[in-house]
Structure 1
Amino acid sequence: MVALAGCVAPSAPPRTAMTAPAPPPAAPVTPPPAPLPGPVLTGERIQGGLIHGTAPAGTQIILDGKPVPTAPDGRFIIAFDRDAGPQATLIAILPDGRRQTETLAVAPRAWEIEELPIPKGTSPSPEFLRIRGEELRQIAAARAIGTDAAGWTQSFHWPITGRISGLFGSQRVYRGEKGAYHSGTDVARPAGTPVAAPADGVVILAADHPFTLEGNLLMVDHGMGLNSSFLHLSRIDVKPGDHVRQGQIIGAVGMTGRATGPHLHWSLKWRDARIDPLLLAGPMPAG
């Protein structure tokens, strides 16, 4: 074989470097939603007391096995009767389905008890019982009326100012037999003293004649099951269905019904619970 002058063997083609494909962008990670908070309660957990609550909108509230109405924004109220036990159970079913249970400790109170060494008295007559039964039916029917009143959201004011002559919860015991406890607060003032609405509300009962015990009775619903009763009035200035505003004059002090002197008996009730006006309106203003 003869080598050819000037001939150069062809070189191999250059190799191309292999580049790995870029990874696809990572999908954004969505953090799990924060758990909804449970109800927040404000107020004194005590016999005869009322507390306000706030929960996420759509939460179902249950107190001692009974559903509690809530506003669209999640606000609600609950109250404890004068004779409430030491504990209450509050259940909240949140919009996300979680169920929260809280045991509420209800503080007891030392009620004013008067022991009397005399018998309780004679039984009422059949005629009294007949009349009283109809009056109680009217009162129960009034309390069953639901209204759009929003007074339950307000700070309550005293309907009149003056000397407190009877305390909520006080009770007489006749030779060991308990009498009915005092269901409201009495304020002594002269007959004709104007009585103002302690909060916004709707009139649910304005008696057209004096009741046997309450006299001229006026009842105002403040919404969410909370209502006021004003007893022994000398006159009533509003009628059923009227919307009243806090501070509006609704009647006047008197001594109709079973009363030994002119005064206003103001009582408050949330559903079946009797509550203390003094805890809602605060100390009686001076003057």
Structure 2
Amino acid sequence: MPRVIVFLLTLVLTIPAHAEGFITRLLNKPVPGGVAVVELGDGVAAPQVRYQGKPALVIREDGQRWIAILGIPLTIKPGAQQVDVNGSPRSFQVEHRKYRAQHITLKNQRQVNPNPEDLKRIERELAEQTEAYRQFSPNQPSNLLFDKPVEGPLSSPFGLRRFFNGEERNPHSGLDFAAKAGTPIKAPAAGKVILTGDYFFNGKTVFVDHGQGLISMFCHLSEIGVKVGDPLGRGEILGKVGATGRATGPHLHWNVSLNDTRVDPSIFIGAFKL
């Protein structure tokens, strides 16, 4: 057999049956607080997928195979995880990632140790926001490579172990952008406004549903420019950067949630680093 034919046959046999698509290469960062992309095959109908009892985002990649895009909780330990696909278990691996610590000094001691009245307010506000994160609309996201909501350097990254006035609190659940007060904030993808409010910790806040459990939250705003029910096109203004709530200065805090799990927003803008 001529050498050229042998070479071509060898090349064909070494090419994976399903080469990774763009979305998989962009989003598959299977670490605690990251995103796992699980291949589901090329059936006619979209598989029904649940992870930790919650519905998951499913799309057809490159017009060929179905994939599930799963948010992995920060609390998950590295190792095997199971996802339910049409009632049957399927495994994927979670890898290790180390998060560093951040120490913050606040002048307002109530922002560290709230009083009883503050705690009642915080409990009410947490229930509101938890309900927003759990929404799951059937529409598919318009884009999964997000635009940055503001132009500016990234400051505090996702997953930091945070200490306020020396006391440890919940890890940093989003990504911060250093930006001047009044800087317009743009929707990183099309969506619908599902919640707005002025909260004890988050200050002025906007939640946007991008579809299938993919939710963005923007907080510490100086001004909210939308109302609940408003449709938002990609790049439309939803508010302005501020320092409301528990903030030491003007910046944008941006959360991204998948299947009611806060994940690293840097993944969606192509800025993820281990």
TM-score higher than 0.5 here?
Answer: yes
1:51-102 deviation line (CA, Å, top 9, x unaligned): 44553215332434555364699554212122222221134339xxxx5x43
**Cross-structure match for 1:125:** 115
1:50 equivalent in alignment to 2:38: no
List runs of 5+ in structure 1 lacking aligned partners. 1-36
* Cα distance change of structure 1 residues 128 and 69 upon mapping to structure 2, 3 Å threshold: same
Instruction: Name the CA distance, whole Å, in 2 between partners of 1:228 and 1:173.
Output: 25
Higher relative contact order (CA 8 A, sep 6+): 2
CA contact (8 A) 1:203 1:241 kept: yes
Q: Which structure shows the bigger proportion of residues in helix conformation?
A: 2
The 5-angstrom pairing of residues 142-161 of structure 1 reads 142-151=132-141, 153-161=143-151
The 5-angstrom pairing of residues 176-195 of structure 1 reads 178-195=168-185
Find the residue that maps to 1:180 and give its secondary structure. coil
Instruction: Name the CA distance, whole Å, in 2 between partners of 1:68 and 1:227.
Output: 12
| Rg (Cα) greater in structure | 1
2:75 to 53, 59, 83: 83
**Cross-structure match for 2:5:** none
List runs of 5+ in structure 2 lacking aligned partners. 1-17
Equivalent residues, number: 236
Find the residue that maps to 1:139 and give its secondary structure. helix
1:112 to 92, 100, 103: 100
Instruction: Name the CA distance, whole Å, in 2 between partners of 1:277 and 1:158.
Output: 10
CA contact (8 A) 2:206 2:224 kept: yes
Shift of 1:176: 9.7
1:157-202 deviation line (CA, Å, top 9, x unaligned): 1101212221110013589974211111111111110100011111
Q: What RMSD over aligned residues (CA atoms) do the two structures have, in Å?
A: 3.1
Instruction: Name the CA distance, whole Å, in 1 between partners of 2:31 and 2:124.
Output: 33
2:234 to 202, 225, 246: 246
CA contact (8 A) 2:221 2:244 kept: yes
Instruction: Name the CA distance, whole Å, in 2 between partners of 1:175 and 1:130.
Output: 22
* Cα distance change of structure 1 residues 273 and 244 upon mapping to structure 2, 3 Å threshold: same
Shift of 1:220: 0.5
Instruction: Name the CA distance, whole Å, in 1 between partners of 2:103 and 2:247.
Output: 21
Instruction: Name the CA distance, whole Å, in 1 between partners of 2:224 and 2:113.
Output: 32
Instruction: Name the CA distance, whole Å, in 2 between partners of 1:60 and 1:141.
Output: 22
**Cross-structure match for 1:235:** 223
Residue range with higher mean Cα deviation, 46-55 or 234-243: 46-55
Instruction: Name the CA distance, whole Å, in 1 between partners of 2:271 and 2:82.
Output: 30
**Cross-structure match for 1:220:** 208
Find the residue that maps to 1:151 and give its secondary structure. coil
1:201-252 deviation line (CA, Å, top 9, x unaligned): 1101122xx2111110101011111111101111111111111111111111
Which amino acid in structure 1 is aligned with residue 82 of structure 2? T
* Cα distance change of structure 1 residues 114 and 219 upon mapping to structure 2, 3 Å threshold: closer
Aligned identity (percent) is 35
Instruction: Name the CA distance, whole Å, in 1 between partners of 2:139 and 2:258.
Output: 14
**Cross-structure match for 1:8:** none
* Cα distance change of structure 1 residues 177 and 217 upon mapping to structure 2, 3 Å threshold: closer
**Cross-structure match for 1:5:** none
Off by >6 Å, runs of 4+ in structure 1: 174-177
Which amino acid in structure 2 is aligned with residue 274 of structure 1? R
Find the residue that maps to 2:252 and give its secondary structure. strand
**Cross-structure match for 2:85:** 92
